[in-house]
Amino acid sequence: MTHPFRTAVEADDHDAIHALLAEDVVFTSPVAFRPYRGRAITAAIVRGVSRVFEDFRYVREFSGADGRDHALVFEARVGDLAVNGCDLLHTDGEGRIDELVVMVRPLSAATALAEAMGAQFDRIAGEAREEEEGRGRPSGR
């Protein structure tokens, strides 16, 4: 069975992604300096990643026995560099994602991703701030 997060990402449906996130979701990545907590910033980061990754596709999916842990293996490009990665999801008792960990390799691609996301971070932070202040949220690119 395909996880709804995978379906939403593959459809580039950022409203659906937002709806799948718990209010207190924690986003962690090796290219982020610290974990980020909250639906608004996590949704904004996912939108930013969708602008940076090219030729993104999930290639495998695994779920834990209890149905609350999921691993979505993906491939993409950042510029000319191939990226292999995995979205690690944990869901709360209501089925919302309360932990999202993104792992990427190789180091050269992780570095390129960090640089590309860093260049967008003012936009990402602004999108999150707008949502938190009640001015709505961007839904796409």
Mind listing the pLDDT tens digit for each residue in 64-104? 999 999 999 999 999 999 999 999 999 999 999 999 999 99
Whole-angstrom distance, CA of residue 64 vs CA of residue 12: 25
Question: What is the reported pTM?
Answer: 0.91
For the chain, which ranges sit under pLDDT 50? none
CA dihedral 27, 29, 32, 36 (to 10 degrees): 10
Phi, psi at residue 6, to the nearest 5°?
-60, -45
DSSP 131: H
What is the sign of the dihedral through the CA atoms of 125, 131, 135 and 141? Answer: positive
Phi, psi at residue 3, to the nearest 5°?
-70, 140
Q: What is the pLDDT of residue 33?
A: 78
Q: What is the pLDDT of residue 31?
A: 85
Q: What is the pLDDT of residue 135?
A: 64
Domains recognised in the chain with CATH numbers: 4-130 (3.10.450.50)
* Residue with token string 């904004």: 44
Which residues contact residue 45 at a Cβ distance below 8 angstroms, ignoring those fewer than 6 apart? 27, 32, 36, 117, 124
Contact (CB, 8 A) for 15 and 4: no
Q: Specify the DSSP element, H or E, that contains 23.
A: strand 21-28
